[in-house]
Amino acid sequence: MVSEAEYLFYVDRALDGMTRILLELGDERANRKPDLPGANTPYQILTHCLGVIEFWSGQVVSGREVERDRAAEFTASGPVAELVERTAAVRARLAADVTAAEFDQQVRGEAPPHWRTFLGTLTQGAALLHVYEELAQHHGQLEVTRDALLGG
């Protein structure tokens, strides 16, 4: 089984990469959509990832009530520095949630219905694996989005 430190190492790599991209792009480009069908801005992609973390580690794994407006994640905009600060706060809460998690035990909160149907009993470890899955895929998406915005 993966350790807490190993898990957070990979999560941190994804979040570090995403925040580095937004800082590289700056406020104007981080809030611009590339000319690709259905694209989101880099700001929206990272905002969505923070929503994923807060919902899955906070509500599903830890059992905290989390109010999430998923649709708003895809219309979000603002200064990069504020989003980087929010990322640090969400990362700290995730680390605490991972430390408190019992990876082989059932989740403490409610997962979306389609997840319960697909997997049956969902463990805290599986829910945290989903967090990493989302971060890894969106980190790659953000790299492609950056390249499109920079014309590369």
pLDDT digits (tens, 9 = 90+) for 62-107: 999 999 999 999 999 999 999 999 999 999 999 999 999 999 999 9
Q: How many CB atoms lie within 10 A of CB 130?
A: 19
Q: What is the mean pLDDT of the chain?
A: 95
For residue 31, the one-letter residue type is N
Q: Are 142 and 18 in contact (CB under 8 A)?
A: yes
Q: In CATH terms, is domain 4-149 a member of 1.20.120.450? A: yes
The whole-model pTM stands at 0.95
**Which pLDDT does position 117 carry in this prediction?**
61
Q: Are 149 and 34 in contact (CB under 8 A)?
A: yes
User: Of the candidates 100, 107, 110, which has an alpha carbon nearest to the alpha carbon of residue 124?
Assistant: 107
Q: How far apart are CA 122 and CA 33, in angstroms?
A: 35
Q: Is residue 15 within 8 Å of 87, Cβ to Cβ? A: yes
